[in-house]
Amino acid sequence: MLSQGTQGQPDPVISEYRGRFAPSPTGPLHFGSLFAAVVSYLEAKRHHGKWLVRIEDIDPPRELKGAVTSIISCLEHHGLQSDEDILFQSRQSTYYDQMLETLQSLNCLYRCPCSRKQLADTAKHLPICRQQEVEGLPCAIKFKADGKAKVWQDGMLGRTSYLLDEDFVLKRKDGLYSYQLAVVADDIQQRVTHVVRGADLVESTPMQLALYDALEVSPPQYFHFPVVMNEQGQKLSKQNLAKPVNIDNATQNIQRVLAMLGIIPGGDANNCRSLLSNAIERWHPDLLATRKSFVEPAIC
Ligand SMILES: [Zn+2]
C-alpha cells in the first residue's frame, strides 16, 4: 500500500513543507552539490519545513568507497543536518519491488530483453516487447509511456511541458533499480512535498510525473534552479572531475554560496549554522529569477 503524498498547497501557506537533498555517493561532495544542498535547505526553511537527506546509493558499481560517510560528514561540517533519519536507497529493495508489483497490476509495465542496437529501431522493438510476454531471457522492466505531454508549474521555470514518448526502464537487466523508480518511490514514502533540484534534472520530471499519474498519487511541486558550471562552461559533476569541497573552509564555502545567491552573509561568520539561519529570511527564489547558471568560485 502506497502512502498518499501530502497535497502541496499554494505558496506561502504550506501546512507541512517537506523538502530533500538526495546526493549519489559516486564521489565526494563538490561545490555544485553543496550549492544544491543550500538552496534546497533555504527553500525548506523559508517555509518552516523539514529538510531531509537521502543517499541515492542504488548503483553499487558506480559508488566510490567511503563517499557515503564523506558526503554526510561534509554536509554536517557545513551546518546542514537532516531533520529526520537519513534514508539509504540501498535498503529499499523490498519497497521498490512492491511498487513494481503495483505498477505491474496496473498494466503499466513490460519486460524487454532488447539490446541497445535493437532499441535504436523503435519500429521493430515495440511490437516484440510491448505485446507479448518474453520468457527465458534477461529482461529490463520498462514503463509504457503514453505519448502525451507532461505539464507542470515549475517554481523556477514556470509552466513547463515535455512530451513523454519513450518507454523508460524501472529495473535494469542486471537487477538494479532505476533512478526514476527509486526517486518517486522514496519521495512518496518520505511524503516529500517539494523537489528543489538542479535544472540538469528537469528531463527526469516528465518520467516521474508519469509514475505519479499511474499510481494516482499527487506529485510534489518541482523547482529546478540553475546549476553551477566550471570555468569551461560544463556542469560540475563527478564525471568532469569536479573538485571535492574542502571541509576546512566550511564557513567560507557557505559564504561563497550565499554570495552567489545574492545574499549578504549575516550572523556569526565563523559558524555555518549561524550563517545559514541568518540567510533564511533573506532568501527568496526570486533571487535566481534572472540567472541561467553559476560559475564555481576559484577556491572551495
Ligand atoms: Zn524490447
- What does the block give as the cell for 244? 571535492
CA 131 to centroid of ligand 1, rounded, Å:
10
Specify whether the CB–CB gap between 260 and 35 falls below 8 A.
yes
CA 89 to centroid of ligand 1, rounded, Å:
27
CA 201 to centroid of ligand 1, rounded, Å:
25
CA 95 to centroid of ligand 1, rounded, Å:
25
CA 173 to centroid of ligand 1, rounded, Å:
11
Task: Please tell me the distance from the alpha carbon of residue 53 to that of residue 35, in angstroms, as a whole number.
Answer: 14
| Residue boundaries of the structural domains of the chain | 18-91+183-295
Smallest CA-to-CA distance from 245 within 40, 37, 56 is with 37
Q: What pLDDT shows up at residue 2? A: 39
CA 192 to centroid of ligand 1, rounded, Å:
33
Q: What pLDDT shows up at residue 18? A: 98
CA 148 to centroid of ligand 1, rounded, Å:
21
Query: pLDDT band at residue 195, thresholds of 50, 70 and 90?
Result: very high
Specify whether the CB–CB gap between 96 and 177 falls below 8 A.
yes
CA 160 to centroid of ligand 1, rounded, Å:
30
| Predicted confidence (pLDDT) at residue 300 exceeds the cutoff of 60 | no
- Of 8 and 161, more confident: 161
| Predicted confidence (pLDDT) at residue 10 exceeds the cutoff of 50 | no
**pLDDT tens by residue, 227-250:** 887 777 777 776 667 789 999 999
| Predicted confidence (pLDDT) at residue 1 exceeds the cutoff of 70 | no
Q: What pLDDT shows up at residue 127? A: 59
Mean pLDDT calculated for residue range 191-200:
96
- Of 186 and 240, more confident: 186
Instruction: Tell me which amino acid residue 73 is.
Output: S
CA 71 to centroid of ligand 1, rounded, Å:
37
CA 56 to centroid of ligand 1, rounded, Å:
27
Task: Please tell me the distance from the alpha carbon of residue 159 to that of residue 221, in angstroms, as a whole number.
Answer: 12
Specify whether the CB–CB gap between 124 and 152 falls below 8 A.
no
* Most confidently predicted of 60-64, 137-141, 259-263: 259-263
Fold of domain 18-91+183-295: Rossmann fold (3.40.50)
**pLDDT tens by residue, 243-274:** 899 999 999 999 999 999 999 989 999 999 99
